Amino acid sequence: MELARTLKTLWHRRRLVGLGALLAAIAAILSIYQVGLFPPSLNSRTNVFATASTQLLVDTPASSFADIANDIEPLDARAGVFARFLASPVAIALIAREAKLPASAIEAQGPFELDVPEVQHGPTADRRSSQIVGEGALYRLRFENSPSLPIVTIFAQAPSQDGAVKLATAVPVALRTYIDQIQAEQQIPAKQRVVIRRLGKATGGVVNQGANLQIATLVFVVVLGVWCMLLIPAQTIARGWREIGGSEGDPNGNGSNGARNGHGRGKDVLRVERERQRTG
């Protein structure tokens, strides 16, 4: 019964319900898009993102992996150094140039130390302040290195799959360019140089595909539901206001009906008095 009464009330106020649907649609659009006024623009929010990963190998020109006479332990240490260097501002600038992205849009984190207490994994105040700034970045990088192999694993995040793959692919190229430049400036012999090899192409995909549609639908339903809930008490208040206005002038709360009833009772008294005089 209550549901039927509610639906009937909403049907009588269908124009206001339509206005609420329009407002809910606007709220849904604003939840997934950023609207610019000067100049007019509509940019999608970063509710959907993609990830990609790849690996790079720190090696020698003759490949230590192919020659059992070569020791790879020095390469392990260099891989750890390179993994931390890739999170530095210098490396981020090189990666951004290679990926054709602004450096300010990229946030990077190096690997955690495996041989330190867990409490020391937490960032210091200075590091945390820089991370808070980076939390608004559209592109993110995370680097991890194996403790026993000269391999650095690269994890990239971007608004799209192509962007994530491009960002992950740019890291080995940027590191190779930087190392080759230093080795050339220092005139290091070719046999003693470090070689950066990429282990396969970067692969990735969309993590939360369809999130924008889900968010917009949820916002639309919530806003429209709240609007309809407000219409029911609004009509009740309006009806009560009309009833109060109609009962003014009758101290007993009968309003105009009371006045009409009083006038009718006066006529009955006159009729009875006339009948008494006629029979008397």
Of 73 and 50, the one with more pLDDT:
50
Helices 14-32 and 211-246 pack at an angle, to 10 degrees, of: 150
Model pTM above 0.85: no
Residue 37: half-sphere exposure toward Cβ, Cα within 13 Å? 0
Query: Alpha-carbon distance 37 to 43, whole Å?
Result: 12
Query: Alpha-carbon distance 179 to 62, whole Å?
Result: 17
Alpha-carbon dihedral 71, 172, 110, 117, rounded to 10 degrees: -20
User: Taking every pair of C-alpha atoms in the chain, what is the biggest distance, in angstroms?
Assistant: 146
241 has a pLDDT exceeding 80: no
pLDDT band at 93 (very low <50, low <70, confident <90, very high): very high
pLDDT band at 110 (very low <50, low <70, confident <90, very high): confident
Assign residue 116 a region (left: φ > 0; alpha: ψ between -120 and 50; beta: otherwise): beta
What is the pLDDT, as a whole number, of residue 164? 92
Alpha-carbon dihedral 100, 101, 106, 109, rounded to 10 degrees: 0
What is the pLDDT, as a whole number, of residue 118? 42
